[in-house]
Every structure is written in C-alpha cells, then in structure tokens.
Amino acid sequence: QVQLVESGGGLVQAGGSVRLSCAASGPPRSRYTMGWFRQAPGKEREFVATISRSGDYIYYADSVKGRFTVSRDNAKNTVYLQMNGLKPEDTAVYYCAAGILVDTNSRKYDYWGQGTQVTVSS
C-alpha cells in the first residue's frame, strides 16, 4: 500500500556531495520510520541511516557518521539523505525503506523503493 521512489543519484567525484530523496505515495496513512540502505556489487546490503516518525531519533552507521545527514519533511512525505565528503567506497545502489520501528536490520522494514545508483570516482 506504500510506494517509495528514490531519486538524486548519479556520478560525483571524491569529496563531493549528493542529496538523495525518497518520495512516498499511496493511500492516507500514519508516518513511518524510514531507513536508508545501500548495496555495492558483490556485497551484501548494508545499513546506512534511520530516522523515526517524528524525526527525533536518528541513527547512522559508523562508516557514514559525520558525513551523511538524514532528514524528513512529513508535509511532503519525503525523506532525504545528504551525503557529503563522498568516498569511492560509498559507491552503491541506495535504497529507502519504510517500517514501523527504528531498526538497522533490513528485514524489519516493510516497504522498499527501487534504488538509485551513486557512483563516486577518485
């Protein structure tokens, strides 16, 4: 019943910045906890960040802490991932997901977007 669409990915040089957006659509509903995950070629899906329904609780993976910022605009039904100081190892397909509870485990999320590619060149 919830559809999520990521956008904003593309090519960027190391040290640059990218802002990803995830727009939610569907029938009227309450706000969800939102998570960001990424998956590089040949690698398992990795937790990036999560934000609670109100935005009061935010948690980041150690690998992105201090560089990435997750935020949400509930009036627009959109969550964002601002990525600064990008490194080649950040190259991956980035996915947003919606669930009931804050969690770093991808299996705890109920709805997923199609993903957007971020490629960081050195």
Over residues 4-18, the pLDDT tens digits come to 999 999 999 999 999
Q: Looking at residue 29, what is its pLDDT?
A: 58
- What is the tens place of the pLDDT at every residue in 61-111? 999 999 999 999 988 889 999 999 999 999 999 999 999 888 999 999 999
Q: What is the mean pLDDT of residues 19-45?
A: 87
The Cα–Cα gap between 102 and 74 comes to 16
Structure tokens at 90: 């950040």
Max Cα–Cα distance, the chain, nearest Å: 44
